[in-house]
Copies of this chain bind each other. A is one copy, B any other.
Amino acid sequence: MTDKLIVLPEEECLRLLAHGHYGRVAFVDDGRPIVLPVNYVFDRGFVVFRSTVGSKLEAAVSQQHVAFQIDAVDPMYHGGFSVLAYGPTEVVESATEVLRLSELALRPWWPAARDRWIRIRVDEVTGRRLRDEE
- List chain A positions with a Cβ less than 8 A from chain B: 2-5, 21-22, 24, 26-28, 31-37, 65-67, 69, 71, 73, 75, 78, 80, 82, 84, 86, 107, 109-112, 130
Give A22 Cβ to nearest chain B Cβ, in Å: 6
Return the contact of A67 from the options B3, B32, B109 (Cβ within 8 A): B32
In the complex, the count of this chain's copies comes to: 2
CB pair B111–A5 under 8 Å, yes or no, is yes
Known: A5-B110, A28-B28, A33-B66. 6 other contacts (CB 8 A): A3-B111, A24-B69, A26-B33, A33-B67, A35-B67, A109-B130
CB nearest to A86 among chain B residues: B32
CB pair B75–A22 under 8 Å, yes or no, is yes
Give A129 Cβ to nearest chain B Cβ, in Å: 11
CB pair B26–A84 under 8 Å, yes or no, is no
CB pair A69–B35 under 8 Å, yes or no, is yes
CB pair A111–B32 under 8 Å, yes or no, is no
Could you pull out 17 A-B pairs where Cβ atoms are within 8 angstroms?
A: A4-B111, A21-B75, A22-B73, A22-B75, A26-B33, A32-B65, A32-B86, A33-B33, A33-B67, A35-B69, A35-B84, A36-B82, A37-B73, A37-B82, A73-B109, A110-B130, A111-B130
